[in-house]
Structure 1
């Protein structure tokens, strides 16, 4: 199996060197010290994970993240000194897969790196298009068609649909779906998942004729059929 490739984007020399030292024994590591060089490295290499500091010279980390998300779903683990909850929520909504606040524990960082790499590998597109019934999902362009009509979905709803349509008829436990898409524990998260599933169900139903694809199985989970 090929070694996973990680890009570290960090302008603080001590932190960047520390990250490289702990990651290099297990992964192929590239480095960038600012937003411009980060985007350049991203274009040059096939990456499996980006570790991104927010406070960068020139192009800020948030802008780097938004630029990456225009063309790629590569997992992004953000390093930040920000602890304000609303800012963290905005960060995740803008496409970050996970975050760590500074100062961080190296063992926790390594664990989160492994989780993101594992999840990224689990949803790696095998075929460009997934089709079931009158729903088609393009895993490369992130386009969704329902009965021939374009459906625009935010990141989390797209990820949920991607998992469900790839395994029609399979019942997924809600905790399994949440922890795969959000990358964190399902504890106290049932309402968040239910809202996203409800939104996805409503949007698909509005475009499909006499068909509801996202179905809840009472007391068990959710399946696509």
Structure 2
């Protein structure tokens, strides 16, 4: 990874953002900034950074929530930078998908070394797609928005969760048990009728004929996969 990488800094303290902008900029990195969690998620989707530096104490939402929402659609490396130094907070962030954790106050040389280490793990081409397309169907994972031929499709929470899970793994079969566990919880892995109902509703809203599917294909006795029309 060259030092032309883009780093997104999500922190509500202007002086911290300025310090990191200068420090990262001196190493050749492009720096994006956000002072709130909502702005940070938007910047992550639009700016497609190779690394996110995330503060946990944000004014509009907790940084742990930002991390959870980011991980729903992106695997970009996240370096948490926070005054919260307890082991519980660190474990929660790392279990929630953070790649590293640095406490404030911090030494800039160690911080930059951790940035370099995380960026070495990033492929040259960012493979993560935040709004995958399947012919006329687009599933915007960052903004939780589904469009068909440019028109927004109104989905319930469960319907969107199903489509988003399939969209994250295009062409790959997701088992019924995995979908039930992810969407309804581990106590519902045998409740396949829940899944059949939601799949039927999504198909109806997408105008997708199960006998000649354009999008959602049933693998009998196994699960479902999402395809583009060129693969049908």
TM-score bin, normalised by smaller chain = 0.5 to 0.7
Residue 93, structure 1, aligned to residue 95, structure 2: yes
State the match for 1:21 in structure 2.
22
Secondary structure at the counterpart of residue 8 of structure 1:
strand
Shift of residue 17 of structure 1? 0.4
Stretches of structure 1 lacking an aligned partner (at least 5 in a row): 127-139, 153-206, 208-225
- Whether contact under 8 Å (1:144, 1:151) holds in the other structure is no
Q: From the superposition, tell whether residues 143 and 91 of structure 1 become closer, same or farther in structure 2 (CA, over 3 Å).
A: farther
Secondary structure at the counterpart of residue 111 of structure 2:
helix
RMSD: 3.1
Stretches of structure 2 lacking an aligned partner (at least 5 in a row): 129-166, 179-221, 223-232
Residue 141, structure 1, aligned to residue 142, structure 2: no
State the match for 1:37 in structure 2.
39
State the match for 1:10 in structure 2.
11
Task: Give the whole-Å Cα distance in 2 for the aligned partners of 1:143 and 1:85.
Answer: 37
State the match for 2:65 in structure 1.
63
Task: Give the whole-Å Cα distance in 1 for the aligned partners of 2:49 and 2:112.
Answer: 17
- Whether contact under 8 Å (1:145, 1:151) holds in the other structure is no
Q: From the superposition, tell whether residues 102 and 142 of structure 1 become closer, same or farther in structure 2 (CA, over 3 Å).
A: farther
State the match for 1:112 in structure 2.
114
Q: From the superposition, tell whether residues 84 and 123 of structure 1 become closer, same or farther in structure 2 (CA, over 3 Å).
A: farther
Secondary structure at the counterpart of residue 60 of structure 2:
coil
Shift of residue 92 of structure 1? 0.4
Shift of residue 86 of structure 1? 2.1
- Whether contact under 8 Å (2:3, 2:29) holds in the other structure is no
After superposition, what is the alpha-carbon deviation per residue over 1:33-74, rounded to whole angstroms, capped at 9, x for unaligned? Answer: 111211121121121000000001012211111110000000
Structure ID, larger Rg: 2
The ranges of structure 1 where at least 4 consecutive aligned residues each deviate by more than 6 angstroms after the TM superposition are 143-146
Secondary structure at the counterpart of residue 71 of structure 1:
coil
Task: Give the whole-Å Cα distance in 1 for the aligned partners of 2:118 and 2:102.
Answer: 13
Task: Give the whole-Å Cα distance in 1 for the aligned partners of 2:116 and 2:127.
Answer: 19
State the match for 1:50 in structure 2.
52
Secondary structure at the counterpart of residue 119 of structure 1:
coil
TM norm structure 2: 0.54
After superposition, what is the alpha-carbon deviation per residue over 1:105-124, rounded to whole angstroms, capped at 9, x for unaligned? Answer: 00010000001110122896
Secondary structure at the counterpart of residue 63 of structure 1:
helix
Task: Give the whole-Å Cα distance in 2 for the aligned partners of 1:97 and 1:54.
Answer: 14
TM norm structure 1: 0.55
